[in-house]
Structure 1
Amino acid sequence: MFTKSLIAGAAALFLAAPAFAEIEIHDQYARSASPMAKSGAAFMMIHNSGDEADRLIAVSSDAAARTELHTHLQGENGVMRMVHVEEGFELPANGEIAMVRGGKHVMLMGLTGPMEQGKTVTITLTFEKAGDVVVDVPVDLERQDHGGMMNQGSDS
């Protein structure tokens, strides 16, 4: 009798829990300016198919001494500059973050080894609600998409 009550209580608790963000990563790739570069970047589409917003708050990788969330902002005289975004990026419910060249991205500084075509870099994305999402990111030094400031998702 006690076992049935315990199982029923656990099931009720599980079913009553709010629906957290459901994170999916698509079209990920990483690159550096050259195989000998000391820094590189990773780009991807981060999709939240859940009914609750979340926030990408941190990033880490063994591929670099320091890994940060960055974006490009227009500074004085229209010159674009790259900045560390300490507060992270808002991920709307049923929405996405476009991490593209010229916009939001993962910055890998102090690379621990060369970024070679066809190799893989493992990156951990940390979300406020969904927790850690580990992503294997292929290195693609030949990709020519130019990113841009359009279709950047939320600016939060």
Structure 2
Amino acid sequence: MRLPIAIVMAIALAGAAAAHDFKAGDLVIDHPWSRTTPPVAKTGAGYVTITNNGTESDTLVGGSAEISGGFELHTSEIVDGVAKMRPLTEGVTIAPGETMTLEPGGTHIMLTGLKGPIRESEPFAGTLVFEQAGEVPIKFVVEGFGSRPEPEADAHEGLQQ
């Protein structure tokens, strides 16, 4: 009798994990995630999709993560075949009715001063800070490297700052 209960619980928990989104006023923060890092890595990245269902713009201006000393918003672009990254010191604005996806190879969260490796299946807490919505606690799930399709270049490979 215990096995069927365990199976039902596993399915229920898997569905809850897959649908992990957070709400802050008119903002919907969908599937915050990160990738595994090598044991000696000092930086990692975070990704998320943010939808603004409101009538006013809001700007993601920063945040924090329990696994890192620093949290910055960056963008990557390919220039002459080389990935270049730069900080977004003004933040990322999400207009009313729009969705912004922070993803590999584009705009993303840069986690600096990692306190240890980011490990698959070990979620970690973080906070996103918005001009209007304020501080929003979230949880990043950790996926194995290569678990999502790669864009033309990863945000941290072949990088020049």
Q: Secondary structure at the match of 1:94?
A: coil
Q: Which residue of 1 aligns with 2:87?
A: 84
Secondary structure at 2:66 match in 1: coil
Q: Which among 68, 73, 80 is matched to residue 72 of structure 2? A: 68
Give the letter for the 1:116 counterpart: R
Kindly indicate whether residue 137 of structure 2 is the aligned counterpart of residue 134 of structure 1.
yes
- SS where residue 109 of structure 1 aligns? strand
How many residues align? The count is 129
Alignment of 1:47 with 2:21, yes or no, is no
- List gaps (5 residues or longer) in structure 1: 1-19, 150-156
How far the C-alpha of 1:79 sits from its partner, in A, is 2.3
Cα deviation code 1:45-82 (max 9, x no counterpart): 0111111111111121221111101111344x342201
Structure 2 CA distance for aligned equivalents of residues 74 and 66 of structure 1: 25
Amino acid in the other structure paired with 1:93: P
Q: How much identity, in percent, do the aligned residues show?
A: 31
> Which one of the candidate residues 40, 58, 63 is aligned to 2:62?
58
* Alignment equivalent of 2:124, drawn from 121, 125, 132: 121
Q: Distance in 1 between matches of 2:39 and 2:121?
A: 12
Distance in 2, matches of 1:138 and 1:126, equals 19
Shift in Å, 1:21: 5.4
Q: 1:117 to 1:26 in 2, by over 3 A?
A: same
In 1, the alpha carbon distance for the partners of 2:85 and 2:139 equals 24
**Any gaps of 5 or more consecutive residues in structure 2?**
1-23, 154-161
Residues in 2 aligned to 1:147 and 1:79: alpha-carbon distance in whole angstroms = 13
SS in 2 for 1:138: strand
Equivalent residue letter for 2:111: L
* 1:41/1:105 contact within 8 Å kept: yes
Question: 1:87 is aligned with what amino acid?
Answer: E
Are residues 1:25 and 2:39 paired? no
Which stretch shifts more, 29-38 or 105-114?
A: 29-38
**Aligned mate of 2:112, from 109, 112, 117:** 109
TM-score where L is the length of structure 1:
0.74
CA distance in 2, matches of 1:27, 1:147: 18
Normalising by structure 2, we get a TM-score of 0.72
